[in-house]
């Protein structure tokens, strides 16, 4: 590994070289993502304004620090592995950045390598994905709640193509997820259903109204099951336009034979 003095000399020369380019400066500070430039040993040579803001450090504090001081998952060994991988082209990875106050946040990192004056350097474009991770966690919780519901829940697009079914639909119809998602809801329609049932559903939904009533559904085995269902439009929050339909179905209990 080069001496600290030789590193500082190299970094000073590089800094003067790359920051003298007006286009470089404009690119760095116009980006809404954090940008880091480091050498092949992981020493940070330059950062943009967003990098400083996201981590709570000044530019001077970040320059000449090491990548693993801010990225929890990075070590000298992983940097070597990344350098080898970069010889095949840019790639993305997820990481966890540590702020000056010790708090952390998830990031998506786009790594690429460039050369100047006979030296190679790593460019890291870093995006905070905290909101994305929170949204993913919320979706997982909602999916678990839907899957644990005793009700059959189906979401379709405006044409009636099934986008989602919960586990109760899989259990009661006998279709697996791959067999039913992407198919029209009519895959569950029983030929014994009253002729006006689906006509009534279509009329209500065309008028952007909710429909509820009895449903006769045929499962994969060909058995006809009696349900009650509610079909509701789902609207886009921004323009109030219908984007999907939510179908909630409950099985009608079988009547016990009277003695």
- Cα of first residue to Cα of last residue in the chain, in angstroms, is 91
Beta bridge partners of 43: 66
Q: Write the CATH number of the domain with boundaries 149-251.
A: 3.30.450.20
Encoding tokens for residue 24?
A: 């470089």
Candidates 137, 172, 134; CA nearest to 153 is 172
**3-state class percentages of the chain: helix first, strand second, coil last, to nearest 5:** 35, 35, 30
pLDDT greater than 80 at residue 172: yes
pLDDT greater than 90 at residue 47: yes
pLDDT greater than 90 at residue 72: yes
CB 154 within 8 A of CB 169: yes
pLDDT at 61: 96
Of 71 and 17, which is predicted with more confidence?
Answer: 71
pLDDT at 2: 47
Query: Span 98-123, mean pLDDT?
Result: 92
Query: Span 56-82, mean pLDDT?
Result: 93
Does the domain formed by 30-132 have CATH 1.10.10.10?
A: no
pLDDT band with cut points at 50, 70 and 90 for residue 198: confident
Domain with CATH 3.30.450.20 in the chain: 30-132, 149-251
pLDDT at 17: 56
Alpha helices of the chain — where are they, by DSSP H? Answer: 4-19, 22-30, 49-55, 59-62, 76-86, 130-147, 167-173, 177-180, 195-206
Query: Rounded to an integer, what distance in angstroms lies between the CA atom of residue 73 and that of residue 84?
Result: 17
Q: Which whole-number Å values give the CA distances from 227 to 173, 224, 230, in the listed order?
A: 12, 10, 10
Query: Rounded to an integer, what distance in angstroms lies between the CA atom of residue 211 and that of residue 132?
Result: 34
Query: Span 20-47, mean pLDDT?
Result: 82
Which of 87-101, 113-127, 235-249 is most confident?
87-101
């Amino acid at each position: 590994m080069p001496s600290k003095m030789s590193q500082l000399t190299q970094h000073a020369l590089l800094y003067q070289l790359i920051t003298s380019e007006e286009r470089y400066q404009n690119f760095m500070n116009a980006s809404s993502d954090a940008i880091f430039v480091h050498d092949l040993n992981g020493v940070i040579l330059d950062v943009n304004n967003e990098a400083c803001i996201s981590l709570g450090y000044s530019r001077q504090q970040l320059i000449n620090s090491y990548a693993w001081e801010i990225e929890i998952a990075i070590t000298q060994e992983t940097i070597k592995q990344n350098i080898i991988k970069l010889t095949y082209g840019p790639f993305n990875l997820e990481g966890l950045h540590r702020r000056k106050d010790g708090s952390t946040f998830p990031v998506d990192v786009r790594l690429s390598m460039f050369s100047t004056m006979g030296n190679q350097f790593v460019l890291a474009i870093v995006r905070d994905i905290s909101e994305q991770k929170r949204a993913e966690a919320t979706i997982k919780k909602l999916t678990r709640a839907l899957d644990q519901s005793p009700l059959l829940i189906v979401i379709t697009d405006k044409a009636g193509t099934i986008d989602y079914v919960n586990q109760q639909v899989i259990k009661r119809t006998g279709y697996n997820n791959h067999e039913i998602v992407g198919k029209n809801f009519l895959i569950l329609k029983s030929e014994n259903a009253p002729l006006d049932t689906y006509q009534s559903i279509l009329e209500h939904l065309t008028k952007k109204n909710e429909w509820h009533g009895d449903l006769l559904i045929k499962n994969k085995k060909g058995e006809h099951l009696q349900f009650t269902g509610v079909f509701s439009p789902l609207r886009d929050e921004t323009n109030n336009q219908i984007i999907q339909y939510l179908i909630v179905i409950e099985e009608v209990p079988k009547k016990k034979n009277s003695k």
